[in-house]
Amino acid sequence: MTSAKTLTIAISGASGSIYGFTLLKFFLANDYKVDFVISCNGEYVTFKEMGLDLRDLSIADKKNKILELLALEHKESNFKLWDQKNIAASIASGSYKSQGMIIAPCSVGSIGNIASGTSNNLITRAADVVLKERKKLVLLVREMPFNSIHLSNMKTISDCGGVILPAAPAFYHQPKTIQDQINFIVGKVLDQFDIDHDIFKRWRGDANILNDYLV
């Protein structure tokens, strides 16, 4: 099986589930095969933030509800939803072919588990596998402020090749809406996989800065 256009997206219990769902929508809409996991805490925060209630549903019903939310029911065959407790999932094995994994948003709890290699659920196990196989792992961390434990855990993961991509929106692209801010962060994740997109306006350089601002 080829790894081209196959990747894993996970949503943990940090704030900002909308990032994960926006990424899921982008990849499914662009004909990627997506393995998807949402932690129990991620389900709770998603409910609080987006009103998406996945409680007490079977995996099949959760899957349908998510596809309905994204209006992507026709992409059903490319969307694999895994239970966060299912350590027998394909993505828990290094023999599974994929381009890598995105955790968006990523809690500092999951960061800690990845940094210490505890693999305490399918999300952190899959991330561990991606690191050991030297594939791309992008962690869209959302917390503030950071304590030294968070910072040293992030350094550990970065030293292993993981990309720490904080949910830190910029303003130079002149965002007008919350969706503009979400798109900026999502676009930065896509850049990590070298995927062409135009979901935010790139900085093109400013030749006049010398005249206007520099003394």
Ligand X SMILES: Cc1cc2nc3c(=O)[nH]c(=O)nc-3n(C[C@H](O)[C@H](O)[C@H](O)COP(=O)(O)O)c2cc1C
Residues forming contacts to ligand X in the complex (CB under 6 A) are: 12-15, 39, 41-42, 44-45, 48, 107-110, 142-143
Determine the 3-state secondary structure of 117 from DSSP. Answer: coil
Question: Which CB sits closer to ligand X, 28 or 123?
Answer: 123
- Closest CB 9 distance from ligand X, rounded Å: 14
Question: Which CB sits closer to ligand X, 8 or 12?
Answer: 12
Return the residue matching tokens 């917390």.
143
Question: Which CB sits closer to ligand X, 6 or 124?
Answer: 124
Helix boundaries (H) for 32-147: 40-50, 59-70, 108-116, 122-132
Question: Residue with CB nearest ligand X?
Answer: 13
- Closest CB 152 distance from ligand X, rounded Å: 15
Q: Which residues contact 140 (CB under 8 A, 6 or more apart)?
A: 16, 19, 102, 103, 104, 105, 106, 165, 166, 167, 185, 189
Question: Which CB sits closer to ligand X, 44 or 193?
Answer: 44
- Closest CB 183 distance from ligand X, rounded Å: 19
- Measured at the alpha carbon of residue 70, what is the angle toward residues 105 and 72, in degrees to the nearest 5? 130
CA distances from 175 to 15, 143, 178, 185, 209 (A): 20, 22, 8, 12, 21
- Closest CB 166 distance from ligand X, rounded Å: 11
